[in-house]
Structure 1
Amino acid sequence: MTHHRLFYLVLLLLPFSLLAQSPYWQQEVNYKIEVTLDDQNHTLTATQELEYVNHSPETLTFLYFHLWPNAYQDRTTAFAKQQLLNNDDEFHFAPQEARGSISGLDFKVNGQAVKWEKDAQHPDIAKLTLNQPLPPGGRLTVSTPFQVKLPDSFSRLGHVGQSYQISQWYPKPAVYDQQGWHPMPYLDQGEFYSEYGSFDVRITLPANYTVGATGQLQNPAEQARLDSLAQVTAARKEFNAKDLEFPASAAATKTLHYRQDCIHDFAWFADKRFHVLKSEVLLPHSKRPVTTWLLFTNREADTWVKSVQDINDAVYYYSLWLGDYPYAHATAVDGALSAGGGMEYPMVTVTEPEAIIHEVGHNWFYGILGSNEREHPWLDEGINSYYETRVKAQRNPYAGMLSSEVNQNKIGRFLGVADLPPAAIDNAAFLSAASRGLDQPVTAPSAQFRTFNYGTVVYLKTAQLFQYLEKYLGTARFDSAMQAYYRQWQFRHPSPQDLQAVLEKSTGEPLGWFFQDLLPSTTLPDAHLATVTTTGGTTQATVRHTGKLALPVQVAALNAQGQVMETHWTKPGEREQTLTFTAAGIDQVVIDPEYLFPELDRRDNRYRMGKMFPKAEPLRLQPFLSVDRIDKKQLFWAPSLGYNTQDGFQLGAAFYNSFLTEHKLRYVVMPMYGFGDHRITGLADVRYQIPAQGLLRKVEAGILFQRFASFHSLAPSLTFHNRLHTPTTPRQQLSLAWHLVVDDLHPDVQAPRLAYRLLSENAVQGTLVEADVTQFRYGIQEFRQGTVVSLHTEHYAPTRFRLSLEKWRAYRPGKEIRLRGFAGIMTGTQTGEFYLGLAGSPDYLKQTPFFNRTDMFTQTGGPATIRQTDRQDGGFRNGVPVVSREWMATLNLTADLPVTPFAVYADLGRVQESSQLLYSAGLQLSFFRKAFQIYFPVAGSHYQKEVPGSFQDFRNSIRYSLNLNALNPFRLLDELQ
């Protein structure tokens, strides 16, 4: 029986009831490929012949093909642009010799040349126009030679030296299904969708390479060689992790032959340094043996040797819970992959040791259940992550996706999570973004996810929600339903609707609340115990839902030892329900004791029987951070240290009620003691989050109080944050604030001020400019070609208008050229210390920490030649003592120097009071994410010395700026998301 006939038979044997209900069909592609590896020039030379079978009811006049090696050809491809967007510029600045491509294509259909052309926008997509239309049920043969120039390891296809990762490497027809054609460019964030069929592949390469590949190896001699290597590795006691040298390639070559039916992709990985381990798994249902292989180098050999159980457990438990593994072997390969911790292909995966379970599990979710991963990544990565968690829990009940063994060791005890279930730790990752309004729907296409959310939402949140669904349905019913899904849709292309239909039919439960309400939503549910009463030996608990979603939630009765005595679930869609417990000796009633309900605020989820305040939780003082708990209210603290010339060294602590997740009411109170003037200093920042909808992700009302050096200030504010829909959506912020600043040194600055701010920033990089007083600001910046436009207005006695524009471009990894333009105008009565500063603003609102505020001003009201600047207003780095009470315009250029940590700068400016062009130049050195910068002047205008007269003069002319916002852990967490 030929391979394609066997595949077609598999389709015919699928349940007739399903085929009768739906006019399902899918295309079939059967490949024959011969390829030769040139490991000196890092190229592939190949010929390919494929049979395309049209099972659709449509007549086809063309075929789309993927030419994915062309994704690596230059900076204009979708892959290259996504890499930049995701803050990875390695490929952008790679030399041409490090890039890749596919060439030498000469497509023929049934032996006849055809017209074909690359897509105008995406060179990794081609369209073949057929000479004769292909009718329903028709077959044709497409053949072509091709050569692949292998890129360096930027993503999935590539090489590191003579270690080869050969994936997405051959011309492949795009999927044609009920929705039409799916031609898609290659992306790093966003996986694949391919047609099922058979593969017959011959790989020629130097004889001393060891290969892990899709398919069943047909060479007895090579099978014996692998067995021999496995025996040697099993007997080996130690490995030299530093020995990673490639041996010379053998002069002789070998041709390895692989065949496999019912797969939709073929990948292979080759290295001359591989050690081999071989094992076997007996499948739980059919009892058929499956051979498992580990191929690895010395790099992490000790860890790989311990990983045999991981690959065996993955094959066994996925088979147990879903259905038996259909192939003869499963292989995990150690490779120099750049696309995350691992990447899966049918029967083989390239991976890090810690990701083996996840990557091997993809044989079910991707390999056997071939969903459209680009459109529905949660069907693949998310559900697979759920099963990965279950496999890990078989050996360690405390092991979740993130938690691992953290909650059992000293770190877990220090962070106060040692007694929590793994879900409590795992869900903190996506709840952190959700609490800030940065969540995205689980069901979004892969390319729409912001980088952080792709991991936390697609993987972690989906896994958490399926744990929740399993608990609601019961493990036995859930497993039975997923086994039905596996049986009906193996080797096919299931959609989310297909999964829902199978689960509903199998369980008899309507699950629209899960698939239509919960998965596509970014709204978090909130359930709480309204009342709990005991009458006549029974306990009744009333559960109330607030917000948009009324989802089922588990409610448990616990005894005094915290053990669960009785549980019930509320029904979906009901906003208030009363549950009855009959167990005796109930000590407390708890909502969601296993932390599976995707809820943010759990502090109202427990009722303690017989207590004077049954809903009040004890307060726990917790260092640094932890996750939100049901049984404790946590007050976090961290030590704080400060310094200025008036207060001297300051020591204290910051107390805050949230960090990983934002609460509706959150605060930071940081009292400190100044040893210089022996007084209390510090700040208090309190914010309340107002529910937001539509274009707004959150609205905050806040108040900030500060007391340092010679001033104290009070600033209530109202801030609006825009919703971030896609990775390219700019982050925008509109603030209304009223500032009261009392300065003992400059009493004429004491006055209330109204501040109006609008700022925009990209999620990849932080804010460039902080406003001074009243400001209007708007900006859009893009990574590697950024722009921030800021307009500020201020009114007290005079009115001040300020406009700034900043642009930057990277010219090599980590090195940028930045240009900033500034223009400011003042009108009205010119009094006091209100002016535009050429070398920095007077910081009226005390928004920048200054070490020395005493000497900030001269007797004439201008800035002294002090060493610290806030880089505002004119932005001159050198201490040019020039101000303007009319208008000012400046240009600031900064260029990072290659190799060194230094940058050169040049500042040019004009003020209304002078007809001369003012300038300064020098070297800039940055530390700690550019939070601290030192400026070494080498030239300046006539307002300062051209060449310092002495070393003391030069030392005094050195200036610095300080931006503690760049190190603020709350701000860093926001930028990460």
Structure 2
Amino acid sequence: MRLLPIIIFTFLLNFSLNAQTKPWQGKFEPIDNLIAAPNTYRTASGAPGKDYWQQRANYKIKATIDEKTNTLTGEETITYFNNSPDELTYLWLQLEQNVNKKENEDFGSINNEMKDFITTRKMQFLTRTIDFPAGYSIKQIKDANNQNLKIMINNTMMKVKLNEPLKSGEQISFSIAWSYPITDRSMYTLSREGYEYFPEDDNNAYLIAHWFPRMAVYSDTEGWQNQQFQKLGEFALEFGDYDVEITVPADHIIAATGTLENSESVLTKTQLKRLKDAKTSFEKPIMIITKEEADLNKKNKSTNKKTWKFNAKNVRDFAFASSRKFMWDAQAVKLPTNTVMAMSFYPKEGLPVWQEESTRAIKNALEVYSNATFDYPYPVAISVNTSNIGMEFPMISFNGGRPKNGKISEKAKAGMIGTIIHEVGHNWFPMIVSSDERKWMWMDEGLNTFLHQRTLKERYPNYSHVTPKKIVPFMTGDKNILRPIMTTSDNELFNQFGANFYIKPTVGLQMLRNSIIGKDLFDEAFREYANRWKYKHPNPADLFRTLEDATATDLDWFYKGWFFTTDYVDLELSNIKWFKVHEENSNLEGKNTTLNAKIEMSGPHGETTAKDFSNGPEIINMISTPDKDYGQFTSRLDESEMRKQLSGKNIYEITVKNIGGLVMPVIVEWIYSDGSSEIDRIPAQIWRRNEYEIKKTFIKNKEVVKVNLDPNFELADTDMNNNSFPKTDSKSEFDRFKSKKSN
């Protein structure tokens, strides 16, 4: 027997050591090991720390579009501010135009499956059978002393080697001259920029984006941003001021980031008067460039040149669109702290729906997003019509959606309006709350889609909206290929990135707002995050921590399941027991009398599972509490009062099983014999001690005839057929869902 203590000690020691090397990671354990530790740059509360820093880059750019050769030529001076504590011996710039080179490392890898039948356009995407020139020609790079700087180009990134180290707190100016062939957007997949050709009138509409060499981000969490541009993961950029001059054919109209500085030089007196009137037109848009004026421009095709000058403050990028085909309308939008000009540019192919709806959609987005976060701070918000795209840049977005022969279906119209709202909304995420799209696409797409859907619900209630049910098919997909939200942008499967980076984060935020935290508290926390990190670079941990900090709610269990795993929600209402208390005072300690319910089967642990409520309640005796159970307390419960309070009441014990793996709040709908109903909400913390099965007891005045879990489909439960008692067949439950969804 002397060996027994040694054996027990050895077992406990091994268990302890194993626990240290493999810590328990239950669903409610902190996510500290999954996110970066807080520091003086980023605090444990999710706010920027006292030592937070970020770099800055100002740009002076002159560019010219040669319409005959479809070439853009430019020169720029970049002033780069080293606000980091580090000394830099080289700089990295982004050269996104190089992604269009045929030898690009990611060429043809998006949706690259060959089939028995394939369209010529799809074959062009995969093989570039018809080749075309693409990518930057860097002509020179010089420092402020006109000395050449050495460079090395790695695909879509360019290293500039400095002649002298750039110390902390210093700045450097250098100039670059470059050119590149503007590509035909119809010739390659995921075309965010380029030109669209219109054969009918032999004209182009130029969408010019990621068009100049620009500074990559150098941050406290990554150093130099080092992920190549591969089209899905978009941009990580620094804030700065822009002075831009763009020379185009004299009859072109330009829409651009920033304020037009020389309107008197590029617009007629009549157009200037219209633009001035639009600044006080709060009820409807005013046409600045009419259809008749655009038609005249298309017909004449001027060979002269005109330079447009723009200035933009504190933005992280600059984009523009140019065409002689553009009509232009504008309307003032009054926000609590400023007035914004909402403007739309479109060719005749966008009529009539763009003239009717585009600027109104911008206005709706500006108002709803501003109310949810902070007032839109820039002077203009622009929507430009093009084909097959929805793409955002500071103050300007390129948006698809066109009628055919002047007619558009309600579905297509809704899609167009949704696209405009979504892309305008990107001004907040990530153009101002500047997350790294190249690394965490969900931080801009998910948060933006969440507010985009809120805008649709508030301003276009008849349009369909994303709800938790929308994500169910995705979450029940093949676990061998599903990936969690916390997946780097370019590493997601092409046919899944929409669900994983747009819809699933949106649904997660909807659940936090509507079912877990509550609207008022969540809205305040979301607003806190937006204001903490506007004009800064947040990471996922900053969002996670801020939502907890501003709500006093432990959400690690939700983050862990929803963002870091591919588990899904499937809560099963596996059993309900109905009791009434025997009203006579009984001292038969440990004994009770029971009216047997109708039994369908026994559970795996011997528990009985009732089929329905038809046999009435089980009767239980509530015995007096023995003195020994009170320990050292000398006071006693008023047992007669307890019996009085329970007299005639119905006691229901529910058993809920976690089939899918994700813990969630338990939402219980009670339907009573008189036809009335009510809902009880049990916080997710009920799963803390048992993540697989919970029991909960309720006292009800009325008799229950039916119980449903998640009756309003708030939690993305993947199997609603196991959510009810008495049990229902699959068809009836599916019909119930369809009926509820349609209502």
TM-score (norm 2): 0.71
Amino acid at match of 2:105: A
Indicate the structure with greater helix content.
2
Q: SS in structure 1 opposite 2:306? A: strand
- In structure 2, how many angstroms separate the alpha carbons of the residues matched to 1:520 and 1:18? 19
1:130 aligns with 2:162: yes
For residues 380-529 of structure 1, the aligned pairs below 5 Å read 380-397=444-461, 399-401=463-465, 422-424=467-469, 426-431=470-475, 434=477, 437-471=480-514, 472-529=516-573
Equivalents in 1 of 2:738, 2:378: separation in Å? 52
Distance 1:431 1:547, change over 3 A: closer
Number of equivalent positions: 577
User: Deviation of residue 396 (structure 1)?
Assistant: 4.4
1:376 correspondence with 2:440:
yes
Any idea what SS the aligned residue of 2:109 has? helix
Which SS does the other structure have where 1:98 is aligned? Answer: coil
Cα gap change, 1:598 to 1:38, in 2 (>3 Å): same
CA contact (8 A) 1:66 1:184 kept: no
For the residue of structure 2 that corresponds to 1:315, the secondary structure is helix
2:12 corresponds to:
none
Q: Residue 543 of structure 1: CA displacement?
A: 2.9
* Mapping 1:420-819, distance limit 5 Å: 422-424=467-469, 426-431=470-475, 434=477, 437-471=480-514, 472-533=516-577, 536=649, 541-558=654-671, 565-572=678-685, 573-574=687-688, 575=691, 576-578=694-696, 580=698, 588-607=706-725, 614-617=726-729, 619=731, 629=734, 631=736
Matched with 1:277 is 329
Alpha-carbon RMSD: 3.3
Equivalent position amino acid for 2:436 in 1: N
For residue 76 of structure 1, what is the aligned residue in structure 2?
103
Matched, 1:253 2:305: yes
CA contact (8 A) 1:29 1:196 kept: yes
Partner SS state of residue 85, structure 1: coil
Tell me by how many angstroms 1:537 deviates: 5.1
* Residue 102 of structure 1 pairs with residue 136 of structure 2: yes
Q: Which deviates more, 274-283 or 309-318?
A: 274-283
Match of 1:159 in 2: 195
Asked if 2 retains the 8 angstrom alpha-carbon contact of 1:400 and 1:423, the reply is no
Q: What displacement does 1:300 show?
A: 2.8
Residue type of the partner of 2:320?
W
Question: Which residue of structure 1 aligns with residue 79 of structure 2?
Answer: 51
- 1:401-449 deviations in whole A, cap 9, x for unaligned? 46xxxxxxxxxxxxxxxxxxx543x2245235x2565422111011111
AA partner of residue 209 (structure 2): S
Contact conserved, 2:87 with 2:167, CA < 8 A, in 1? yes
Secondary structure at 1:113 match in 2:
coil
Distance 1:78 1:583 in 2: 69
Change (3 A) 1:275 1:616: same
Structure 1 pair 579–266 and aligned structure 2 pair: CA distance change class (3 A): farther
User: How many Å separate the matches in 2 of 1:511 and 1:186?
Assistant: 33
Aligned 8 A contact 1:212 1:268 in 2: yes
- State the secondary structure of the residue aligned to 2:431: coil
User: Are the counterparts in 2 of residues 69 and 157 from structure 1 also a CA contact under 8 Å?
Assistant: no
Higher-RCO chain (CA-CA 8 Å, sequence separation at least 6): 2
1:202 to 238, 241, 245: 245
Identity in percent: 27
Match of 1:344 in 2: 392
Amino acid in the other structure paired with 1:589:
V
Are 1:290 and 2:403 counterparts?
Answer: no
- Residues 606 and 630 in structure 1, CA contact (< 8 A), matched pair in contact too: no
CA distance in structure 2 between the partners assigned to 1:561 and 1:198 by the alignment: 67
1:170 aligns with 2:246: no
Residue of structure 1 in register with 2:431 after alignment: 367
User: How big is the shift at 1:249?
Assistant: 2.8
Match of 1:299 among 327, 346, 349: 349
The 3-state SS of whatever aligns with 2:53 is: coil
SS of equivalent to 1:37: strand
When normalised by structure 1's length, the TM-score is 0.55
Partner SS for 1:469: helix
For residues 924-971 of structure 1, the C-alpha deviation after alignment (integer angstroms, 9 at most, x for no partner) is xxxxxxxxxxxxxxxxxxxxxxxxxxxxxxxxxxxxxxxxxxxxxxxx
2:366 is equivalent to residue 323 of structure 1: no
Shift of 1:16: 14
Question: Quick one: which amino acid aligns to residue 157 of structure 1?
Answer: E
Aligned partner letter, 1:254: K
The answer for unaligned runs of 5 or more in structure 1 is 1-13, 403-421, 608-613, 621-627, 635-977
Matched, 1:66 2:130: no
Match of 1:774 in 2: none
Q: Does the C-alpha gap of structure 1 residues 257 and 568 become closer, same or farther in structure 2, counting only changes over 3 Å?
A: same
C-alpha displacement at 1:82, in angstroms?
3.0
User: What letter matches 2:168 in structure 1?
Assistant: P
CA 1:370/1:246 → structure 2, altered by over 3 Å: closer, same or farther?
Answer: same
Q: Which amino acid aligns with 2:459?
A: R
Which residue of the partner structure matches residue 623 of structure 2?
Answer: none
The one-letter amino acid of 2:568's match is L
1:735-762 Cα shifts (integer Å, max 9, x gaps): xxxxxxxxxxxxxxxxxxxxxxxxxxxx
Whether the 8 Å contact between 1:83 and 1:91 is mirrored in structure 2 is no
Residue-by-residue CA offset, 1:311-355 (whole Å, 9 max, x unaligned): 11111101111111111110010124x5xx300001100012331
In structure 1, what is the equivalent of residue 616 of structure 2? none
Could you tell me whether the CA contact under 8 Å between 1:69 and 1:100 is conserved in 2?
yes
Question: How far does residue 252 in structure 1 lie from its aligned partner after superposition?
Answer: 3.1
Conserved in 2, the CA contact under 8 Å of 1:525 and 1:547? yes
1:577 Cα offset (Å): 4.4
1:596 is displaced (CA, Å) by 3.0
SS at structure 2 position matched to 1:493:
coil
Tell me by how many angstroms 1:109 deviates: 2.2
Structure 1 CA distance, aligned partners of 2:505 and 2:146? Answer: 48
1:691-716 per-residue CA deviation (whole Å, 9 max, x = no partner) reads xxxxxxxxxxxxxxxxxxxxxxxxxx
Q: Distance in 2 between matches of 1:577 and 1:176?
A: 51
* Counterpart residue identity of residue 487, structure 1: N
Structure 1 residues 584, 172: CA separation in 2 closer, same or farther (over 3 Å shift)?
A: farther
CA separation of 1:401/1:41 partners in 2, compared to 1, >3 Å: closer, same or farther?
A: farther
Contiguous gaps of at least 5 residues in structure 2: 1-41, 115-121, 198-203, 279-283, 401-415, 581-648
Q: State the shift of 1:367 in Å.
A: 0.6
The SS at the match of 1:439 is coil
Q: In 1, Cα distance between the equivalents of 2:562 and 2:156?
A: 36
CA contact (8 A) 2:286 2:331 kept: no
* Residues in 2 aligned to 1:218 and 1:165: alpha-carbon distance in whole angstroms: 21
Indicate yes or no: 2:147 matched with 1:34: no
| Bigger fraction of residues in strand | 1
Distance of 1:561 and 1:80 partners within structure 2 = 66
What CA distance in whole angstroms lies between the structure 2 residues aligned with 1:503 and 1:106?
Answer: 47
Check 1:516–1:594 CA distance in 2 against 1; reply closer, same or farther (3 A cut).
Answer: same
How far apart, CA to CA, are the structure 2 residues paired with 1:532 and 1:396? Answer: 42
Structure 1 distance, partners of 2:657, 2:96, is 52
Aligned partner of 1:265 among 314, 317, 324 = 317
How far is the alpha carbon of 1:148 from its aligned partner?
2.0
CA deviation string 1:101-131 (max 9, x = no partner): 2114311122343443334xx4321111111
Contact 1:111 1:143 in 2 (8 A): no
| Mapped partners of 1:135, 1:325: distance in 2 | 35
CA contact (8 A) 2:673 2:702 kept: no
